[in-house]
A and B are shown apart, each in its own frame.
Chain A
Amino acid sequence: MITSVLCAFATGRMQELSDAVLSGAADAIQLVISMAGMMCLWTGLMKIADSGGITAMLARVFSPVLKHLFPAYAPESPAMKAVCMNITANLLGLGNAATPMGIAAMKEMAKKTPTPGVADNSMVMFVVINTASIQLLPTMTGILRARYGSPSPFDVVPAVWVTSLVALLFGVTMAKLLQRRGGSRYG
């Protein structure tokens, strides 16, 4: 904000700047109001899917893949179950559910870790997966595009999937490659 004031001073755009302050604050509230409807609809629908047990079903589908990413845990261990649930919730875009499950997963991993206070290989892998967006339907972005009059706001979804997948594979590969530097003491 201070940069803006200095820059406007230098370029003589003070009038535009003071207009921007007024319109910016109003625009933010308009944005929140125009998003609220879609957000409610969406979280409501996801709650139905969640109550129907879709999270547990998808978690079963993913466990064969996750076995390779987290070799330190048995498929039925509490840590592995929490990891599965967190990843499924992320896929469905259940942000409010994914974070507590993720923290539960980290706590389970922390109980078993050979190196307290230092992230072991499974923890790094888990957090790297969580820093990549694997959400199937980017709701917020879609809502925002619709607001600016895009005729089909979700037409970017195939491109988002390809990009997410490339980035996720890259992140997982990087995590696997870099973990070798620490030797075997990190599990």
Chain B
Amino acid sequence: MDKIGVYLVPCIIALILLFGFFRKVPLFDTFLDGAKEGLRSTVSIAPALVGLITAVTMLKASGALDLFTAAVRPLAQALGLPPEVVPLTLLRPVSGSGSMALLNGIFADCGPDSFAGRVAAVMMGSTETTFYAIAVYFGAVGIKKTRHTIPAALSADLVSFLTSALAVRLFFRM
């Protein structure tokens, strides 16, 4: 299973370049255009990350995050989740850069290849900033009554969190 991850990135890069070549895309110029966009969007999240990572580091240093993690430990264990990822499940649907900051903290504390690190990575990769998407799309066309959108979207997030831990156990035998 590990092999897939190792081959994935180089193969995807080669495939994209070949595809672009056969489709007669001006490879380097197009690449530069895209890379500029990437740089712009990375820089644009910097101010938010400064605020949020500082806040998360402070929460960790003050012991507040430990207290919270200890408080939810029984619940997390009942659900099969590592307790360290519980704050991430709460913040994930609300704030994209906030959850990035938490993910950064989990990797720093537990390591990216620990059980908690892997579960957090799967959670992050398999969910979106639910409330942001709802606000952007319904806001764009002036919809006020969203009916069953929020229950359906949030229950899917919950399923995704619970499945993350199961999937990590299954794929990595942890």
Whether A8 lies near B147 (C-beta < 8 A) is: no
Interface flag for A46 (CB, 8 Å): yes
Candidates B27, B112, B160; contact of A167 at CB < 8 Å: B160
The smallest beta-carbon distance between B13 and chain A, in angstroms, is 6
Whether B55 lies near A32 (C-beta < 8 A) is: no
Candidates B2, B35, B46; contact of A40 at CB < 8 Å: B35
Candidates A3, A135, A163; contact of B163 at CB < 8 Å: A163
Enumerate chain A residues within 8 angstroms of B126, measured Cβ to Cβ: 132-133, 138, 160, 163-164, 167
The smallest beta-carbon distance between B74 and chain A, in angstroms, is 21
Enumerate chain A residues within 8 angstroms of B130, measured Cβ to Cβ: 131
Whether B113 lies near A132 (C-beta < 8 A) is: no
Whether B145 lies near A118 (C-beta < 8 A) is: yes
Whether B136 lies near A144 (C-beta < 8 A) is: no
CB within 8 Å of A: which B125-143 residues: 125-128, 130, 133-134, 136-138, 140-143
Interface flag for B72 (CB, 8 Å): no
Whether B59 lies near A31 (C-beta < 8 A) is: no
Residue-wise, chain A 118-159 has the 8 Å CB interface mask toward B (1 for contact) of 110001101110111101011011101101111111111111
The smallest beta-carbon distance between B14 and chain A, in angstroms, is 10
Question: How many residue-residue contacts, CB under 8 A, span A and B?
Answer: 345
Whether B4 lies near A148 (C-beta < 8 A) is: no
CB within 8 Å of B: which A41-56 residues: 41-54
Enumerate chain B residues within 8 angstroms of A51, measured Cβ to Cβ: 20, 23, 25, 30
CB within 8 Å of A: which B14-73 residues: 16-17, 19-20, 22-23, 25, 27, 30-39, 41-43, 45-46, 49-50, 52-64, 67
Enumerate chain A residues within 8 angstroms of B75, measured Cβ to Cβ: none
CA separation between A32 and B5, bound complex, in Å? 24
Whether B143 lies near A119 (C-beta < 8 A) is: yes
Whether A150 lies near B67 (C-beta < 8 A) is: no
Candidates A24, A35, A175; contact of B42 at CB < 8 Å: A35
Interface flag for B117 (CB, 8 Å): yes
CA separation between A54 and B101, bound complex, in Å? 33
The smallest beta-carbon distance between B68 and chain A, in angstroms, is 9
Whether A171 lies near B155 (C-beta < 8 A) is: yes
CB within 8 Å of B: which A105-128 residues: 106-107, 109-110, 117-119, 123-124, 126-128
15 contacting pairs across A/B (C-beta < 8 A): A5-B58, A16-B61, A21-B57, A24-B53, A43-B34, A45-B12, A119-B138, A119-B147, A138-B124, A145-B121, A148-B117, A152-B2, A162-B163, A163-B123, A167-B157
